[in-house]
Amino acid sequence: MAPKPKSITDIPILSHPICALDFETTGLNKTNQDRAVEIALVRREPNGNIHAWSSLIKSPKSIPVESQKIHNISNAMILDAPSFQDIYPRIEQFLKDSILIAHHSPFDITFLKKECAFIQKPVPNTVAVLDTLTMARSFLNLPRNNLSSLSKRIGITPHNAHRAMSDARNALFLFLEIMTQYPKQDLTVRNVKEIIENRKPKGIWRNHIHRKVRLLVKKPQKIQIRYSSSAPERPLFQERIVTPIRIRDQYLEAFCELRQDKREFRISRIHSILELQSL
């Protein structure tokens, strides 16, 4: 009997096309009231090649001054822009059979579905959707998770923040940074969704780390921790050899071998703990 073909969610993500999507809109209302005024798509092929495209979109709704101040798109700029109907074939080409990613994906997916519905076209076929905002909260758990802050944290200086191309590019680079920094290099969509679920405040992995930290405080020994650092001058992921001392609120106080002094590590940012009994 021939082996059963793998589900798409079990294929390593980086061996599949990935497409980052970002919309700029007349406002934040996801009902029919607000409309898209700009779209950007950045697609990464399995061989690493990246293709990018963006377009302003003619909108039947004018752009309020408040929204113009955010994305710097004026009503004059979209006056002669193509309609969503005009650019739909290009959107379909970019999104076809890709893993779609976006920062706060429910917002962008809602506008994609809404604009497709207005022109009576199907939503372009994608194989999965991953949200870089949810991923950042689960994988990194940094103090600020907006796209500009996260981009700066991974060493990208945001240019034209809140314009679609800048945001789509930064979402893709953030996604790739998380994927390559994570120890398991062949993460699948299923793996990512499991990690997100397990790293929720009451998830299996969070409970496991908290339980292990409590046990190690009772029986101190040298351990190696891998954690995500919020300090912009340091690598995003770091490994330290420490000896636990006590738990202070949400932090592990420990003696750090590198600094030769006591340091505090936020427990929710600790990704793994290795006991070093032989040291």
pLDDT in tens, 76-128: 999 999 999 999 999 999 999 999 999 999 999 999 999 999 999 999 999 99
φ and ψ at 161, to 5 degrees? -55, 140
Q: Which of 230, 232, 239, 203 is nearest to 142 (CA)?
A: 230
pLDDT range class, residue 5, cuts 50, 70, 90: very low
Would the pLDDT of 213 be above 90?
yes
DSSP secondary structure code for residue 122 in this structure? P
Widest distance between CA atoms in the chain: 70
Residue positions counted in the chain: 279
pLDDT range class, residue 261, cuts 50, 70, 90: very high
Residue 162 is among the residues annotated as catalytic for this protein: yes
Rounded to the nearest integer, the mean pLDDT of the chain is 90
Each residue's pLDDT tens digit, 215-235: 999 988 999 999 988 887 788
Active-site residue identified among 16, 71, 103, 162: 162
Burial class (CB in 10 A: 0-12, 13-18, 19+), 266: middle
For the chain, domains (ranges, CATH) are: 8-196 (3.30.420.10), 204-275 (2.30.30)
Q: Which of 127, 128, 140, 220 is nearest to 182 (CA)?
A: 140
Rounded mean pLDDT, 43-58: 97
Each residue's pLDDT tens digit, 155-183: 887 677 779 999 999 999 999 988 877 65
Which 3 state secondary structure label does DSSP give 115?
A: helix
Instruction: For residues 23 and 34, give the distance between their C-alpha atoms in angstroms, rounded to a whole number.
Output: 12
DSSP secondary structure code for residue 6 in this structure? P
What does the pLDDT read at residue 6?
64
